[in-house]
Amino acid sequence: MNSSTSGVHSAGQDGRVLIITAVDAEREAVLRGLGRSARFEVIAAGVGPAAAAAGTAAALAAGNYRLVVSAGIGGGFPGRAAVGSIVAATAIVAADLGAETPEGFRSVDELGFGSSRLAVDSARTARFAEALAAAGLPGASGPVLTVSTVTGSAATAEALAVRVPGAAAEAMEGFGVATAAAQYGLPVMEVRAISNAVGPRDRAAWRIPEALKALEAASTLFLEVL
Ligand SMILES: O=C(O)c1cccc(C(=O)CC[C@H]2O[C@@H](n3cnc4c(=O)[nH]cnc43)[C@H](O)[C@@H]2O)c1
């Protein structure tokens, strides 16, 4: 057992909720919010959709879960999700999965190779969004994009917003987590605490401590909603 899977949340128990983060700082924020509840397992699986899918699949093969949640920090689309707010995904979209053509980007859907959009557990997502509002936490809902490259220009941000109408946030793991969950027939959710705006790269402007605090606050609501 490594440091990312050890602790009070790894006690064997049926029907738990599996929460996948990318890095340990996110995992620790989620654990602070959850307290000592044994209903949850929280694993830091690594950055990006491949690590997320592999880590999720390995956890699902080893345990008994009823729900999978992709959680962490993320970029918020201007006008949709402000820094410090919490986004509940209404869909999980692999926004850069496709082909570049002379006519522009073509998604895997258009290419006939599958779907770049996976459904979330809409009932639990709605309950979570209601709980955010009731707790007075700043929240937003909308599709959350999974990208392999963090957006770093206004042009890409605009292209993604056009590609996925209503896009609220982007991150790098949701589609991998959701793909693994789907293979096990399990419902999935994605929750992102916004650390930065999607747009021109300005790493110094990322508000990671604030986002981790928001992630911790959001995770307290998992106890009542999930
Ligand atoms: O440096 C730190 O202390 C630190 C603490 C927690 C997390 C990080 C990360 O850099 C995690 C990488 C993670 O962040 C997500 N993310 C955040 N903003 C964006 C974005 O604008 N576009 C795409 N992904 C974003 C992503 O899911 C990465 O896994 C550092």
Q: Does pLDDT of 209 surpass 80?
A: yes
Look over the chain and give the mean of its residue pLDDT values, rounded to a whole number.
94
pLDDT on residue 9: 36
- The pLDDT confidence band at residue 36, using thresholds 50, 70 and 90, is confident
DSSP output for the chain: --TTT-SGGGS--TTEEEEEESSHHHHHHHHHHHTT-TTEEEEE--SSHHHHHHHHHHHHHHS-EEEEEEEEEEEE-TTT--TT-EEEEEEEEETT-EEEETTEEEEHHHHTS--SEEE--HHHHHHHHHHHHHTT--EEEEEEEE-SS---SHHHHHHHHHHSTT--EEESSHHHHHHHHHHTT--EEEEEEEEEESSS--GGG--HHHHHHHHHHHHHHHHHH-
pLDDT on residue 69: 99
Domain layout of the chain by residue ranges: 71-225
| Ligand 1 pocket, Cβ-based, cut-off 6 angstroms | 22-23, 25-26, 47, 72-75, 147, 150-151, 170-173, 195-196, 198, 208
ipTM of the complex: 0.92
Structural domain 71-225, CATH architecture: 3-Layer(aba) Sandwich (3.40)
The minimum-distance atom of ligand 1 relative to the CA of 198 is 21
Please give the distance, rounded to the nearest whole angstrom, from the Cα atom of residue 74 to the centre of ligand 1: 6
